[in-house]
Structure 1
Amino acid sequence: MAEKVTPHFHNEPGVPVIHVGAKEFMCIGAKPPFDHPHIFLDMGREDEIVCSYCSTLYKYEPSLKPNEARPAECMWEVDVEPETP
């Protein structure tokens, strides 16, 4: 079974805008342990959205892959544990 992991982004650097390659993703605010609740954001038909917790502005950039961000350091790698039989 294929795993689909929702991209997670953070604004630890404090940049005014994060460009992302996905319209559906999770915002975590800052890196753990200073993260806010991981909130699911869905841009729908729009090309930008603001996180209601940290006020980070995310803009959709179709040239980026779904799990990419600009600046690149705003992508947070989620540890996914393999299923045990």
Structure 2
Amino acid sequence: MAQTLVPHFVNDVGVDRIKIGVKEFQCMGTLPPDDHPHVYLDMGHETQIVCPYCSTLYEFDGDLEATQTEPGGCVYVATSPPGPPAA
């Protein structure tokens, strides 16, 4: 079975509305450690949805890629914690 990644979005810039290029995603509110529960949102046939935790309005824009947002910088990219020092 193929596995797809669900984009995660954050609103660290504090805007009311974020345009995104997907209809299924997770909202985190802000970057960890101040994030809210990561809630899965699905617009279905609609073109916008409001996060029930942070009240950010997400609006679908078919001209954007899955990793693009307006304003920019609202896609969360997980980073691995630092590993042990090299020997």
Give TM-score, length-normalised by structure 1: 0.86
Q: Which residue of 1 aligns with 2:56?
A: 56
Question: What is the Cα deviation at residue 2 of structure 1?
Answer: 5.1
Give TM-score, length-normalised by structure 2: 0.85
Q: Which residue of 2 aligns with 1:10?
A: 10
The structure with more radius of gyration: 2
4+ long deviations beyond 6 Å? none
Report the residue type matching 1:42 in the other structure.
Answer: D
Question: What is the Cα deviation at residue 67 of structure 1?
Answer: 2.3
Bigger shift: 1-10 or 52-61? 1-10
State, as a whole percentage, how many aligned pairs show the same letter: 47
Give unmatched runs, 5+ long, in structure 2.
81-87
Give unmatched runs, 5+ long, in structure 1.
81-85
| 2: CA distance, partners of 1:46 / 1:71 | 21
Q: Is the 8 A contact 1:8 1:78 kept in 2?
A: no
Report the residue type matching 1:69 in the other structure.
Answer: T
Q: Which residue of 1 aligns with 2:85?
A: none
Q: Is the 8 A contact 1:19 1:59 kept in 2?
A: yes
Question: What is the Cα deviation at residue 69 of structure 1?
Answer: 1.1
Q: How big is each residue's C-alpha offset from its partner over 1:20-63, in whole Å with a ceiling of 9 and x where there is no partner? A: 00000000001000000000000000000000000000000000
Q: Which residue of 2 aligns with 1:45?
A: 45
Q: Is the 8 A contact 1:69 1:75 kept in 2?
A: yes
Q: Which residue of 2 aligns with 1:83?
A: none
